[in-house]
Amino acid sequence: LPSKLPTVGTTIFTVMSKLAADTGALNLSQGFPNFNTDAKLLDLVEKAMRQGHNQYAPMPGVPVLREAIARKTSEVYGVNYHPDFEVTVTTGATEAIFAAITTVVRPGDEVLIFEPAYDSYVPAIDLNGGTPVYVTMTPPDYAPDWAQVREKITDRTRLIIVNTPQNPTGRVWTAGDLAQLADLVRDRDIYLVADEVYEHIVFDGRAYHSLMSNPTLQERTFICGSFGKTFHTTGWKIGYCLAPKELTAEFRKIHQFVTFSVMTPMQVALAEYLQEPEHYLSLSAFYQRKRDLFADILTASRFRFKLAEGTFFQTVSYADITDEPDYDLAIRLTHEIGVAAIPVSVFYHNLDDYRILRFCFAKDDEMLLRAGERLIKL
């Protein structure tokens, strides 16, 4: 069978997590917490199951969850999405992103993405016959270069994908970034996908600017969110897409044939859990403490880094330690010192002389301390 994705192999997250499991290494590679979610949320799932919420959910999502998402969005960002027409529950942000890209992109369209970029964007663009166009962001700041963006926009540009807070760099887009983007798309037929799965993990009192907070952007944006990061439930794969009515109508046509609907009892439970804002407003402080714990240890190492502004990832340069390519080093460190990380070159389409690793600090303190002890010896 001729492959539709000839250059795609197994994702780095699968490769590194498997290697970590096979070797018994501390797994700071794939992004997921090694601690459990809140027992209150688990009780709510059990309650929903026992109450009989075990059959197909409505295609766009259980109404109480759509209402809870709309209410939360209005309270946090002051933007109103109608639960019936503008909120869709999806199988993780991954499905929301895939369906949004599929909704917009046709053969011949160009899609701008900012590298380093999360790995699910390009295959979705390829499968829809689009052409990815890359804007490169460079360390240590990883700020979008607006002159470069302007140069790369053509009459064929149909979609721009933005990820803030950004995986793997931890960068959070500023209000200035959003204003620049709005200027560029204002008079053009360009849509936006905003991958905002780390919206509640932003550090040092920094303001978080969702793309929905800029009206020029909001009217053309598919906001993709996820409960996986926010409630320590990456394995539930429940996310959502917020988009204006006309965009949502087309989005749902795709969603209903990718998966139709999403697990009912989790949706019912999440709807109730979302009633308490503390459950998501406490997350930034929770992860900032972990970032600082991990970073304090690494200060004594030969890694060089700028603190992550958001997400639960810290990128570090190892240029002072070795010349090895980052992929080789990630494999070697897993075997030799028992710490698994992600090589950041995999988030670029053609970069192999990179000297940066990504560590996930969504881990209990003991694991962070043990990993740190091993890393400072390098």
Chain residues that interact with ligand GLN, rule: CB under 6 A: 11, 13, 30-31, 167
CB 223 within 8 A of CB 242: yes
Distance in Å, CB of 93 to ligand PMP, minimum: 4
Concatenated DSSP letters of 197-252: TTTT-B-TTPPP--GGGSHHHHTTEEEEEEHHHHTT-GGG--EEEE--HHHHHHHH
Distance in Å from the first CA to the final CA of the chain: 46
Per CB under 6 A, the segment of 52-60, 65-73, 88-96, 150-158 that binds ligand PMP is 88-96
Amino acid at 378: L
Choose, by CB under 6 A, the member of 88, 102, 128, 167 that binds ligand PMP.
167
Distance in Å, CB of 231 to ligand GLN, minimum: 15
Distance in Å, CB of 230 to ligand PMP, minimum: 10
The mark string for 102-141 relative to ligand PMP (x by CB under 6 A, - otherwise) is ----------------x-----------------------
Amino acid at 322: T
Residue with tokens 């390098």: 378
Amino acid at 214: N
Site for ligand PMP in 271-330 (CB under 6 A): none
Residue with tokens 């929301």: 96
Q: Is 165 in the site for ligand PMP (CB under 6 A)?
A: no
Rounded Cα–Cα distance for residues 258 and 242 (Å): 17
Q: Which does 30 bind (CB under 5 to 8 A by kind): ligand PMP, ligand GLN, none?
A: ligand GLN
Q: Which does 226 bind (CB under 5 to 8 A by kind): ligand GLN, ligand PMP, none?
A: ligand PMP
Tokens of 163: 């990820």
Rounded Cα–Cα distance for residues 378 and 376 (Å): 5
Q: Give Cα separations from 183 to 36, 132, 160 (angstroms).
A: 43, 21, 13
Size of the site for ligand PMP (CB under 6 A): 14
Judged by beta carbon, residue 243 or residue 341, the one nearer ligand GLN is: 341
Which of helix, strand or coil describes residue 50? helix
Q: Is 228 in the site for ligand PMP (CB under 6 A)?
A: yes
Q: Which does 228 bind (CB under 5 to 8 A by kind): ligand GLN, ligand PMP, none?
A: ligand PMP
Amino acid at 335: H
Site for ligand PMP in 186-205 (CB under 6 A): 195, 197
Judged by beta carbon, residue 31 or residue 165, the one nearer ligand GLN is: 31
Residues that bind ligand PMP (CB under 6 A): 31, 92-94, 118, 163, 167, 195, 197, 226, 228, 234, 237, 239
